[in-house]
Structure 1
Amino acid sequence: MECCYYLVFLPAAAAGVLDGFSDLQLRRLTKLYRQRLEDATADVAHAVAFSLYAKTVIANVEYEEIAGIDSDKASQLLLQMVLSKEDAKAARAMWQSFTDFRENNAFLKVKKILQEIEDKGDSLHKEINWAPDEVIHDCLVAIHRQHQEILRKRNATLALTSIHGCKLEKTFPLDKHFTELLIIPSLRYQEQVQHELLARGREHAEWRKQVLRRSLEKVRHHEIFGSSFGKCTHCLYAVISGVAGIGKTTLVQKIVHDWAERKIYGQFHFLFQFKFRELNNYQERTSLKQIILHSYPYLEKDLKKIMENPNRILLIFDGLDEFQEPIIFPDIQTKSSNSETKGTSCLYLESWCSIPDIIRALFQGQLLLGCSVLVTTRPTALESLQKAPVHLYAEILGFSEAQIKDYFLKFNSDTKVSLEMLAYVEDNAILYTMCYNPSYCWVICSSLEATFTSPRLRDWSPPKTITQLYANYIHNILKNHAREAEEPRELLLKTGDMAYMGVAERVIVFSDYHFHRYGLQPSNFLSGFLMQILQKENSLKDVVYSFFHLTVQEFLAALAKFFQTPSPKLSQLLDETSTTKDGRYEIFLQFIAGLSCPATTGQLKDLIGEVPQENVYKVVDWIKQRFESAQRHKIQLLNTLYYLFEAQNKALVQETMGQVRQVDFSFQIMSPVDCYVLAVALGHCQQLQNLHLFNCSIESWGMKSLKNVLHKCVNVRLAQNRLGDQGVKFLCEALRKPDCQMQTLELWMANLTDGCVEDLCSALCTNVSVTDLNLKDNAFTDRSVPTLLQLVEKCSSLRTINLCNNLFNESGRQKLEVFEGKMKHTRPELKIKV
């Protein structure tokens, strides 16, 4: 029996803390949290505004203005209205509404803010009164301006490599090309630290899921210091992590440049930027003074005076994962012990210490007490900072949808070409969802640019799958650098063999030893086309190389194995790699499947040779076997759907999917690209009795793909996903189809608000199949009641509608209950649960 319950409004300790604030302090607190509150209330602004209207703190015309715009703009307008009031009555009422609604699932981010306020308690009074700005000393004004101008020039341009044309690198003004990144506050290393090879795909989708569920928040690059994020407002020590290619170094460049332009962080009078890879060159002991003067020699006369006020200094260290020495922090319990820190004291600017000791002393406040420190790193190196007293951890998740568009528009100076490329990628979820990572985005833009700008390539079909994308990427490189390699096929396949070894043994950095082992000469990479595939790095001991991105390494590995492995051994290879449980071969196998498609390998024939047809047949047979054995294993089944998609073999998909009657991915994280692949596969099903996608992290982009197949499904479970109002609009397209077969539709806890009720009502009123509709645990208010009543009245097939645990007032619930009573005589089977 399904449980229905009302919201229980509990008094919150946070409310008691806020009661102790004066009107001025409360307004300051609201301003301090304003940006976070705008994000936190994006989905519930209409409900909060209705609460304020009911309490008569905003007028009817103000409420109607908020109710008439979309939720994102509504949250901005709500905060603007509250702060525009002369007194703090509206602010107090708003905060009280937050505490009233804090137990509703739509208020997860608001609840987090309230908990933070409760935890900080009286210390908040000090934080909101903290003065972030201080006038710089007269004798330092000139050197301060000189320092800013030098840093501005150093960071003014962004370099991007080109894969076609004569120039290997082109530069852009940073301000014009920089695209904001999605950054979240998190303590990732405490929950899950995976090898770099696994830190992507579905693991990445899990973190995006938490962001979009509002359990994690977004941090802008100007909010790392001096905002409400972190353990205290005047945060001192911050760490930003992110996987390879996600934009850590570019973010640092943007922070430094904006500071030099006097746009952000005015509380810091001097900022110093360092790269850990350059700090590797310090083999002997040194001092912080020497490190600073090595990069900023013009500060020698004034450095002592500058360091007299550490509170106004920010030091940035980029790329901890590239540092070759460990930084060991003692346990908090043993911090006073001399056993771990003996002989490593760095108390003064001139103290001679190792680089790890200097970094540790900065974090522990032994050196430059009061200064602020920012460190960036890949997740693989986070463990070394586990015992460091860090105030704010954050992780870069990459681009949001708006940021992807921004990146495309900035990539090519011809706006028409950029929009054509973007439109093509938006129509292909496989490519589009790769664009969250700036490195992927660069590969996609670089690959497509040649097709969309070259007249001779205009008739060439753009890539649809990731295998086609990388085949196109490699093809463009080989074509533009063919003269520089006498035997490009042999060189490429040998490199592929080395790449496969790296995938198998989890090697992502290659030395001369690896080159000689596979019959390669490192010198070939210094002048040949492979400069576009491998990146050269100068380490302390020798020169090492890494692939531009892990997917490039995996594609070349698949290319080498597909073209060179005899068919009996290929079957054995596929069986062995597909049974490895740690996921290291997941993308490699997708590439193998994709290379069985003639359209994919066709463009490489003139460079690598004929495709071995026996291997094509072996791959097709292997995919069939995988599908048969994967029916009861969600991850295996999802991987197999990817193989089907990459193979682009209609007969194969029809044979495997034609008779499927049930698909259950409940509790399996489904990224937008997963939904796209699933939709393509389901398109070949005749009828699906059950589609269970409960708690799969599906959002509006996933629904955009699934809308084309949902009408084939009888029982659809989409509960506990962040569909949102936009996702419901896509669902409505399926509901309106004349051949729609949906009967049971579960949409509880799906992040739905008043904004989608009109669309849902309109679609269901034209639908004759839906009998059971579950809408509980959403954010509908009394504003939706008239439309919901209309829905129940006109949708004659509807027998049950569940509206429990929404944001209805007592009057709204009564109207629904009274209406159910009136319908008893004409529709006795109808039940409205409130």
Structure 2
Amino acid sequence: MSPCKEPPLPQSPTVLDIPRKLPHALNRLFCFHLKCPQSINHISKRASLVFNCVSFSEVVQDYIQEVKAHMSQICQDMEEGLTLSSHYVDMQVSRREILRSGKSANKCLDKELIIMGDTDRQKSSNGDKSKHCILLLGNAGMGKTTLIRKLCLDWSIDCIPQFDFVFLLDGKALTLTKPTFSLQTLLLNLSSFAPSCMDPEAVYAQILAAPKRVLIVFDGFDQLRDYESLLQTQEKDLIASLQKDSKAQTYTVRQLYSAILQRVLLPGCTLLLATRPRGTASQLLRRADSFLEVCGFSPTDVETYLSQYFTDPALRASALDWLKNCTYLHLLCWNPGLCRLVCLVLEQSKSLEDLPRTLTGLCHQVLRLKMDKDNRSTHSELLSQLSSLAWEGVKANSSILPTGRTLSDKLKAFGLRMRTLSDRNFLQTLPFQSGPKGRRRPQREELELTQRFTVGLLFHKRTELQRLHSNTETSFRNMVVNKQALVTKHLEGLSHGDLSPAQVLEACHYVYELAAILPEVLTFHGVPLNPPDVFTLQNVLERGGTEGRSFCLDLEDSGIQVSGLRALVGLKSINTYRACIADVITLWEQLEQSGEEGLLRGAVSKLNIHPLKATQVCHVEHLAKLVNIHMHKRLQSDSILAEGVPAVKELHKLEFELGPEKGPLGLPKLWELLPGLQNLQHLDLSQNCIGDNGVKKLASTLSDLPKLHCLSLYSNVISDEGAESLAAVLPHMASLTELDVKYNKLTDVGAQSLGASLRKCQKIKTLR
């Protein structure tokens, strides 16, 4: 993993030399600056001298040091046999961008995450601008909580000196519904890793005195369904009460969380919120001003993790060798949580043949290994507890185990009974349920994974499953056969026309035979494709190729890695493909460097970019680079690009939709690349604040577009001066048939100049 470029050191006396490597995105986010190693004691002294802008009482100083000592000890513990200092891997955290939308361009009520391409994701950084509300995104198992623990650990050893206080609040505490907390008790008593405070009044007074030196981290929000209620405006009486924070009044955890998120309480503090990137996260977007995503392990990160997990060199070498020979397991290690499970299996396996080949096999083997640690006589008891508690958790949308819970015989029986569902109930748990599309709600991530594991388990090795079941062999066999038949019938009845792109991908994980019914134009536009998804899709498309099928593949806005793009583009069953242009160019360069001319020729010839809609500045920059390759044959393989890039020659429609805010940033690059689009027929530049100067630049390029027949300049702040520039070039546009200049600032003078010019345009049919 190449190191991220650090921002320049600011010219101020507040720069501190920090002796350790911190998470790349977070160190820039909080303006960390790394220089030569020094001792921790020296740093602590400098921190107190340089950064301690507020005079602390001895009581407060003692409390902060006590918190740091306690946090340093607690944050080290990850799980059995693992510590943070020995097993933490500093993986990539990338910046995410958002797309603003809404009825009014000024209000921007709604925000939507933009899925970045692999090349842009590798280059993303957060700059030096201070942020006050950061959203940390990541799917289950991607390491959000581990990253937060690392952040807390770094603060505890004085590596984040701009914060005097760090409080970690758990989203699960929202289940505490009684109004028994004040802001003081919430921070000093309910915060994770916080020891008891001898003088809470003095500490709380210091927190209120300097909220800008407070970092509040929210973790565990994934269990929530209703973020919106946390973000709704508080009642005026409640706001006034919260702002006073009277010791005589107490509130629910929800009220206090809501007030912190809405900046009613501690308005100057920095917030870091960890959540999953889909579903409820969308409700938090408009509250945050910075967005980060944990990207998972790279192949190098996986090797680093294995080298830390396996301390014995021989076992480490064997594990790495086995993993490289088991492609799917290797790809699953992209998820750090699954990488931990893979290591557990590798540790216990006797040979390569013992390794699981599916996600179901991995989960089943881990479950069996966990159970084998206990006495076999307790298996039935363990399964009954797991079944009942898991079912209650699914119904309550909660993963909290009740304190001091005892299981009655009735509850044990309930747990066992729920393991053999009736056919009707079982069918309701299967994926891809039919129903009105308008009523479909996105499923929770954990439910999708549970469904995939359950269906896979039915078709797993029967002898292995019998070990986990308490019924007789005959009743167990009948149950499995019956459920297999139900699943098979359900999956065979699927129609790709009723499935969204995300559901098509999910279906590919269930059955490879789906290739027979997939459409020829296969789109995963906007569907995140992680490495295991790409592996599954590759197998389905390969099967389709053996059956004589061919596909046009759309991978735009999928976030697919360049390695995955290579795997799919190289398939013989792919006729054409669309993907992030920057990633495509990176792939071409890699294939050229490795001398794989056959794959390079296919990757160039199969690319399709028509029609192209540019909604971000980077889209224009990527297109400009592709046009440059087309015009100047920039690849060394001259025979492949003898006639340029086919995709550029076949681009007939370009829609420039950056909008009034970003339009002026992308327009200069657009004026440069337009002459290279010789076959462009439709150019839509509506609502981009082009202005008169922009029209003048545009006019100088229009004569180089001999096949352009439709030009839209709708609502672009164009006045009479711009109309004159446009009028001068119109007679030279022999193919123009449609022109749209509605909602600009033209007067009669501009209209007359356009009218006189259009009389010379013989093919013009429509004027708006």
Shorter-chain TM-score: which interval?
A: 0.5 to 0.7
Q: Which amino acid aligns with 1:630?
A: S
Shift in Å, 1:314 = 1.0
Conserved 8 A contact 1:780-1:808 = no
In 1, Cα distance between equivalents of 2:486 and 2:183:
64
Q: Deviations over 1:311-360 (max 9, x none)?
A: 5631425447489999977966xx8x744435444357x67543556556
In the alignment, is residue 745 of structure 1 matched against residue 606 of structure 2? yes
Aligned to 1:675: 534
Aligned to 2:523: 665
Q: Deviations over 1:518-570 (max 9, x none)?
A: 64299x9xxxxxxxxxxxxxxxxxxxxxxxxxxxxxxx99xx86xx468x779
Aligned to 2:116: 210
SS in 1 for 2:383: helix
Identity rate, percent: 15
| Residue 159 (structure 1) aligned to one of 52, 55, 77 | 77
Specify whether residues 673 and 393 from structure 1 end up closer, same or farther in structure 2 by C-alpha distance, changes over 3 A only.
same
Shift in Å, 1:702 = 2.0
Aligned to 2:510: 643
Specify whether residues 801 and 809 from structure 1 end up closer, same or farther in structure 2 by C-alpha distance, changes over 3 A only.
same
| Residue 481 (structure 1) aligned to one of 360, 374, 392 | 374
In the alignment, is residue 693 of structure 1 matched against residue 590 of structure 2? no
Specify whether residues 722 and 505 from structure 1 end up closer, same or farther in structure 2 by C-alpha distance, changes over 3 A only.
farther
In 1, Cα distance between equivalents of 2:87 and 2:645:
56
Aligned to 1:520: 412
Q: Which amino acid aligns with 1:703?
A: L
Specify whether residues 594 and 301 from structure 1 end up closer, same or farther in structure 2 by C-alpha distance, changes over 3 A only.
closer
Aligned to 2:163: 268
Query: For 1:158-557, what aligned pairs fall within 5 Å after superposition?
Result: 158-161=76-79, 169-174=80-85, 177=88, 179-180=90-91, 182=93, 184=95, 209-210=115-116, 212=118, 214=120, 227-228=128-129, 233=130, 235-238=131-134, 240=136, 245-264=141-160, 266-273=161-168, 275=170, 280=176, 284-286=180-182, 288=184, 292=188, 295-298=195-198, 303=203, 306-307=206-207, 309-311=209-211, 313-319=213-219, 321=221, 338-341=236-239, 343-347=241-245, 352-354=249-251, 356=253, 370-374=268-272, 376=274, 390=287, 392=289, 394=291, 396-397=293-294, 399-401=296-298, 403-414=301-312, 417-418=315-316, 421=319, 424-425=322-323, 430-432=328-330, 434-451=332-349, 457-458=350-351, 460-483=353-376, 485=378, 488-489=379-380, 491-492=382-383, 495-496=386-387, 499=390, 508=399, 519-520=411-412
In 1, Cα distance between equivalents of 2:369 and 2:143:
25
Conserved 8 A contact 2:141-2:335 = yes
Conserved 8 A contact 1:627-1:640 = no
Conserved 8 A contact 1:241-1:378 = yes
In 2, Cα distance between equivalents of 1:618 and 1:278:
39
Q: Deviations over 1:558-589 (max 9, x none)?
A: xx86xx468x7799568787547554664444
Aligned to 1:823: none
SS in 1 for 2:538: helix
Specify whether residues 496 and 639 from structure 1 end up closer, same or farther in structure 2 by C-alpha distance, changes over 3 A only.
same
Q: Which amino acid aligns with 2:296?
A: F
Shift in Å, 1:83 = 12
Query: For 1:543-582, what aligned pairs fall within 5 Å after superposition?
Result: 564=420, 578-579=433-434, 582=441
Shift in Å, 1:465 = 0.6
Conserved 8 A contact 2:136-2:274 = yes
Q: Which amino acid aligns with 1:802?
A: V
SS in 1 for 2:78: strand
| Residue 648 (structure 2) aligned to one of 802, 817, 824 | 802
Aligned to 1:542: none
Specify whether residues 571 and 135 from structure 1 end up closer, same or farther in structure 2 by C-alpha distance, changes over 3 A only.
closer
Conserved 8 A contact 2:588-2:604 = no
Shift in Å, 1:259 = 2.0
In 2, Cα distance between equivalents of 1:572 and 1:304:
54
Let me know the Cα RMSD of the aligned residues: 6.0
Conserved 8 A contact 1:318-1:376 = yes
In 2, Cα distance between equivalents of 1:385 and 1:658:
39
SS in 1 for 2:572: helix
Specify whether residues 422 and 659 from structure 1 end up closer, same or farther in structure 2 by C-alpha distance, changes over 3 A only.
same
Conserved 8 A contact 1:186-1:394 = yes
Specify whether residues 809 and 427 from structure 1 end up closer, same or farther in structure 2 by C-alpha distance, changes over 3 A only.
farther
Of 715-724 and 379-388, the range deviating more from structure 2: 379-388
Specify whether residues 679 and 181 from structure 1 end up closer, same or farther in structure 2 by C-alpha distance, changes over 3 A only.
closer
Shift in Å, 1:745 = 0.9
Aligned to 2:495: 630
Conserved 8 A contact 2:605-2:647 = no
Shift in Å, 1:472 = 0.5
In 1, Cα distance between equivalents of 2:338 and 2:348:
16
Specify whether residues 791 and 495 from structure 1 end up closer, same or farther in structure 2 by C-alpha distance, changes over 3 A only.
same
In 2, Cα distance between equivalents of 1:268 and 1:590:
43
SS in 2 for 1:673: helix
Q: Deviations over 1:380-438 (max 9, x none)?
A: 996899699x5535454452425455444433334664565456556656545544544
Unmatched runs of 5 consecutive residues or more in structure 2:
12-28, 30-48, 103-111, 613-620, 655-667, 680-705, 709-768
Shift in Å, 1:691 = 1.7
Q: Which amino acid aligns with 2:88?
A: H
Q: Which amino acid aligns with 1:664?
A: L
Conserved 8 A contact 1:326-1:384 = no
Aligned to 1:62: none
Aligned to 2:477: 612
Specify whether residues 414 and 784 from structure 1 end up closer, same or farther in structure 2 by C-alpha distance, changes over 3 A only.
farther
Conserved 8 A contact 1:179-1:407 = no
Q: Which amino acid aligns with 1:154?
A: M
Shift in Å, 1:476 = 0.6
In 2, Cα distance between equivalents of 1:148 and 1:592:
48
Specify whether residues 575 and 368 from structure 1 end up closer, same or farther in structure 2 by C-alpha distance, changes over 3 A only.
closer
Specify whether residues 295 and 683 from structure 1 end up closer, same or farther in structure 2 by C-alpha distance, changes over 3 A only.
same
Q: Which amino acid aligns with 1:665?
A: T
SS in 1 for 2:550: strand
Conserved 8 A contact 1:270-1:312 = no
Conserved 8 A contact 1:717-1:745 = yes
Conserved 8 A contact 1:699-1:727 = no
Shift in Å, 1:182 = 2.7
Q: Which amino acid aligns with 1:147?
A: I
Aligned to 1:706: 568
In 2, Cα distance between equivalents of 1:680 and 1:404:
23
Q: Deviations over 1:688-732 (max 9, x none)?
A: 563211244243132354266x1344x222344663455447878
In 2, Cα distance between equivalents of 1:326 and 1:797:
54
| Residue 718 (structure 1) aligned to one of 552, 556, 578 | 578
Q: Which amino acid aligns with 1:411?
A: Y
SS in 2 for 1:676: helix
Specify whether residues 596 and 748 from structure 1 end up closer, same or farther in structure 2 by C-alpha distance, changes over 3 A only.
same
Q: Which amino acid aligns with 1:440?
A: L
Q: How many residues align?
A: 586
Shift in Å, 1:471 = 1.1
Q: Which amino acid aligns with 1:182?
A: V
Shift in Å, 1:744 = 5.2
Conserved 8 A contact 1:720-1:748 = no
Shift in Å, 1:789 = 8.0
Aligned to 1:547: none
Unmatched runs of 5 consecutive residues or more in structure 1:
1-69, 85-112, 114-131, 162-168, 192-205, 452-456, 525-555, 646-652, 752-774, 818-831
Q: Which amino acid aligns with 2:495?
A: A
